[in-house]
């Protein structure tokens, strides 16, 4: 199921049209933000296709540059940690959050290594009023296969007023919830240091295109 989540991420980014120049990202509108970030990411991948073929680690840099500024990684990390953040001193929680970020970079980089030219339809913008969290929905179409429903969960920062994504849901399965379930038993039985070590190991593994 986690591979399906990764594939969903790759599909959305790969299916958007390429532009000659990066699109300026509008952080005041969640729908525009999702479209613009995905478009810029795919354009970057297309322009560096040859480099990626010889060195897939380039994908990590692309994710760091094009995706991560628009991901609320701190919030996602705390959501995954859940109630266990109360069990540890702030310094240990900060260490966990700092390791969560490169872990997410590696996760998305490996997702982007799978991309092909599926068609994606992202819903048009709606009036969101004073909402603080918005679900931006998308439909992925691949000939001969069932459509895949995606939702990007985007939240508004109360201080800056800017919108950033913190979760992706594929066919009802949340990426944050999946990682929370994966880490929960480790946190309960072995503790946060084991989770940190696991994330560090995953984040330092090489990206393999097509794996």
CATH, residue 130: 3.10.450.710
Mean predicted lDDT score pLDDT of the chain: 86
Highest mean predicted confidence (pLDDT) among 35-49, 130-144, 180-194: 180-194
Residue 121 lies in a domain: yes
Residue 103 lies in a domain: yes
Rounded to two decimals, the pTM is: 0.82
Whole-angstrom distance, CA of residue 126 vs CA of residue 120: 18
Would you place residue 128 in the very low, low, confident or very high pLDDT band (cuts 50, 70, 90)?
very high
Residue 210 lies in a domain: no
Residue ranges making up the domain that contains 84: 2-204
DSSP label of 26: -
Residue 209 lies in a domain: no
Nearest CA among 148, 164, 183, 149 for reference residue 33: 164
Instruction: List all residues 6 or more positions away from 181 whose beta carbon is below 8 Å from its beta carbon.
Output: none
Residue 211 lies in a domain: no
As for how many domains the chain has, the answer is 1
What was the pLDDT predicted at 197? 98
């Amino acid at each position: 199921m986690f591979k399906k989540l990764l594939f969903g991420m790759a599909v959305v980014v790969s299916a958007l049209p390429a532009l000659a120049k990066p699109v300026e990202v509008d952080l005041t509108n969640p729908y525009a933000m999702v479209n613009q970030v995905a478009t810029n990411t795919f354009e970057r991948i297309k322009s560096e296709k040859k480099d990626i073929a010889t060195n897939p680690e380039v994908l990590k840099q692309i994710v760091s540059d094009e995706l991560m500024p628009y991901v609320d990684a701190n919030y996602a990390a705390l959501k995954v940690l859940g109630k266990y953040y109360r069990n540890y001193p702030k310094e240990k929680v900060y260490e966990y959050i700092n390791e969560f970020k490169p872990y997410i970079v590696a996760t998305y980089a490996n997702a982007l290594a799978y991309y092909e030219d599926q068609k994606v339809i992202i819903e048009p913008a709606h009036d969101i009023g004073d909402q603080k969290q918005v679900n931006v929905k998308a439909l992925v179409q691949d000939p001969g296969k069932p459509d895949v429903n995606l939702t990007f969960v985007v939240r508004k920062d109360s201080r800056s007023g800017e919108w950033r994504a913190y979760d992706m849901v594929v066919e009802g399965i949340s990426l944050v919830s999946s990682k929370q379930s994966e880490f929960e038993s480790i946190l309960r039985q072995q503790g946060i240091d084991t989770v940190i070590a696991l994330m560090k190991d995953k984040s330092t593994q090489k990206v393999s295109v097509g794996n």
